[in-house]
Chain A
Amino acid sequence: MGKRIGMEIALAAAEAAALCRPDVIAAYPITPNTHIPEHLSDIVAEGRLDAEFICVESEHSAISACCGASGTGARTFTATSSQGLLYMQEVLPIVSAMRLPVIMAIGNRAISGPINIWNDHSDIMYQRDTGWVSLFAANGQETVDMVIQVFKIGEHRDVMLPVNINLDGFQLTHVVEPIIMPDQEEVDRFLPAYVPYAALHPDNIVSMGTLGMPEIYAEAQKSKNVALVNSKKVILEVWKEWEKQFGRKYEPIQSYRTEDADIALVTMGSMGETAEIAVDELRKQGVKAGLLKIKLWRPFPFDDLKKAVKGIRVLAVTDRAVSFGGPGGPVFSEIRSALYDVPKRPKIVNFIIGLGGRDIQVENFMDMVRRATKGKLSEPYEFYGVRG
């Protein structure tokens, strides 16, 4: 039986990854994810995990080494943040095209210009279209659970895709929380050994990463998209299994007090917990507020969203990244597009919040709900509480 412990979430993520018995881990230091690989190297050095830990010379090489290792059929894990994730970008769509289930934890952090080590979602949003399954954790427990779940999701024969799990830098990576840590026996029961579809070995020769001419390139892209869209079925199955075994329920979009809500906030990541408190406060004041917490970012859960917004008049979507010169934040434009065909759709407004670690408090969420209800917004999106 797993036991309830108090642990820094980054360390807990590393413990969870180790429980999945990865064969190869390659990582390069960058704040704020660093505690994850640090702790994994500890676990390997102490002999608790039999794995190759490669101290690569860059993130580009971290993801490249994982790609090569995964090609041999090894279970692989890496972690990064911010510029490190951007430095990996060249390789990310290749990993998904090669259908290699590399698992990556991202301690989300702002992108430089100016340099900033604190949390927002700019780093992962740049990688939105790389063909990876992408999940967002809201707290320590979700982080631990998801790290274990994603190996099963990515390695499933109907998926065979890399997966990233996003946990907010500092707000999650560096916070100590009570977490129920599954034990090895439980994880072994949940997660079968990885059986690769094809592997680099002379006993079964294969060429991986061949040249795609115009006659085949488009088909390769389509098949990757089909795989990613279809992965949702497996994700839901795996979450059902998880709930059955561990008793904790996961949904693509988690609704909070939305049954009779007039207005709902939308969040991804750790700010969902703050927003919950804001919803409770607003309810006390008689405002029919609710909250939608997006946990599955790719493949985007269109049907779940449509179901979740039924009856809601106003949707206040928060974004922690900017699409410069675009229609609003990336979450907002996704949601607005997703609901375009819904006849009775809510009014959708967008607040860009919490950039580069800017604090957002309960009162701020309450303020957003009030302003969204009154419709007093600079259209179509607003940098919330930002000067100039």
Chain B
Amino acid sequence: MNTATNNPKSVESFELYAPKLVSKEEFFVGGHRACQGCGESLAIRLMCKALGKDTVITNATGCMEVISSLYPTTAWRLPWIHVAFPNAAAVGSGVEAGLKALRRKGKIADRRVKSVAIGGDGGTMDIGFQALSGAMERCHDMLYVCFDNEAYMNTGIQRSSGTPFLASTTTAPAGKKIPGNQVWKKNLPEIMVAHNVAYVATATPSYPIDFMNKVKKARQVKGPSYIHCLVTCPTGWRTPSETCIKLGRLALETGIFPLYEVEDGKYRLTVEVPEKRRPVQDYLKGQGRFRHLTPDQIQVIQERVDIEWETLMIKVNCSKSKEELRAQRTR
């Protein structure tokens, strides 16, 4: 895929051509118990394709562990471990350390096997936040992917720090007095950038090639990398299952969830956002979790999204990689 992009003539047909290059091998197989239209299980399937076989997955407790590992069955054709809710990053760092030591000592085959930890927004942004921060700070050769469906869906749609402003959840419901979640979503990718993580990216399975390219890139990093993947949850978002992909695209086109990557400190948009972004209304209106919103409230969200977008664009336009800054100093 990457070689194709290097040839300018092939760029136009690339989008049609690229999916044909995707591996047909499945590492996350069917028969699992995910809901219809689950964005997360789709994203995991794509992620595994991009990672390939030399991978060990550490899974935080959550929907994906529940739907994929009902003993005596498993949907995983990769080595996989689940321990508990808050510790995927810590277990994954142990996996990395174990593989590293055993390889160095000649106890296992001498080739790189990547440790990849995954968790939902609750297991990553809330209860697993400390373990994630520690693992990233310690510079393990590990990729962490957060599959963010914006609430504790596994336990029944409770509010997390990934829940959007004013979304209705079972613990931050839209009531007569309080109209849903009262604070803005935590910006975890930005916090990961602040950890000096060499590669940070946002993604959604609605742009599968973009997501898989990011996973491949993150896999190559010799050190910590982080991908924040927005995934639709029809059950929790109160949306029809067939809108799974469409919602991810609307999240991008409205600027609510831009797709970008931060390499060595430099920001870059990876999927173009229309010059004239669609109004947030287009994203919010089809979702049951936002159906109580008044025009005024939607306007508040629009303004916030505009400001977030501009903040990101300043970074995209002005940020420099540490490598560039280093080169400037030596000049």
* Residues in B whose Cβ lies below 8 Å from that of A91: 83-84, 87
Listed stretches A11-19, A107-115, A200-208; interface member: A200-208
Known: A65-B93, A202-B53. A212 touches B71 (CB 8 A): yes
Choose the segment among A47-55, A260-268, A283-291, A301-309 that binds chain B (4+ C-beta atoms closer than 8 Å): A47-55
Given A23-B102, A55-B138, A216-B71, A206 and B90 touching (CB < 8 A)? no
A201/B134 contact (C-beta < 8 A), A65-B93, A209-B82, A210-B69 known: no
Given contacts A74-B102, A208-B82, contact A65 B71 (CB under 8 A): no
What is the minimal beta-carbon distance from A304 to any residue of chain B, in angstroms? 34
With A57-B130, A61-B131 already in contact, the answer to whether A208 and B80 are too (CB < 8 A) is: yes
Which residues of B sit under 8 angstroms from A50, Cβ to Cβ? 101, 104-105
Chain B residues, CB < 8 A from A369:
none
B256 at interface by CB-CB < 8 Å: no
A146 close to chain B: CB less than 8 A: no
Please tell me which one of the listed residues B53, B94, B113 contacts residue A68 in the complex, with CB atoms under 8 A apart. B94
Q: Counting chain B CB atoms within 10 Å of each CB, which of A54, A207, A209, A213 scores highest?
A: A207
Spot the interface stretch: B54-62, B198-206, B293-301.
B54-62
Q: Which of A56, A70, A208, A213 contacts B90 (CB 8 A)?
A: A56
B209 contacts partner chain A, Cβ-Cβ < 8 Å: no
Contact with A along B66-88 (1 / 0, CB 8 A): 10011110101111111110110
Q: Tell whether, in the assembled complex, residue B78 and residue A205 are in contact, meaning their CB atoms are under 8 Å apart.
A: yes
**B218 contacts partner chain A, Cβ-Cβ < 8 Å:** no
Minimum CB distance partner of A54 in chain B: B97
Interface size in chain A (residues, C-beta < 8 A):
46
| B94 engages A60 (CB within 8 Å) | no
Given known A-B contacts A56-B90, A64-B94, A65-B90, A208 and B81 have beta carbons under 8 A apart: yes
Provide the bound-state CA to CA distance between A58 and B83, in Å.
16
**Complex-state Cα separation, A70 to B77, whole angstroms:** 20
Candidates A65, A73, A201, A213; contact of B113 at CB < 8 Å: A201
Residues of B within 8 A of A (CB): 53-56, 58, 65-66, 69-72, 74, 76-84, 86-87, 89-102, 104-105, 107-109, 113, 130-131, 133-135, 137-138
List 29 contacting pairs A-B, 8 Å CB cutoff, sorted by A.
A23-B98, A24-B97, A24-B98, A54-B97, A57-B131, A57-B133, A57-B137, A64-B90, A65-B94, A68-B91, A68-B92, A68-B94, A68-B95, A68-B97, A72-B56, A73-B107, A73-B108, A74-B98, A74-B102, A98-B83, A200-B80, A200-B81, A200-B95, A201-B113, A206-B79, A209-B65, A210-B70, A211-B65, A211-B70
Residues of A within 8 A of B (CB): 23-24, 26, 50-52, 54-58, 60-61, 64-74, 76, 90-91, 94, 98, 193, 199-213, 216
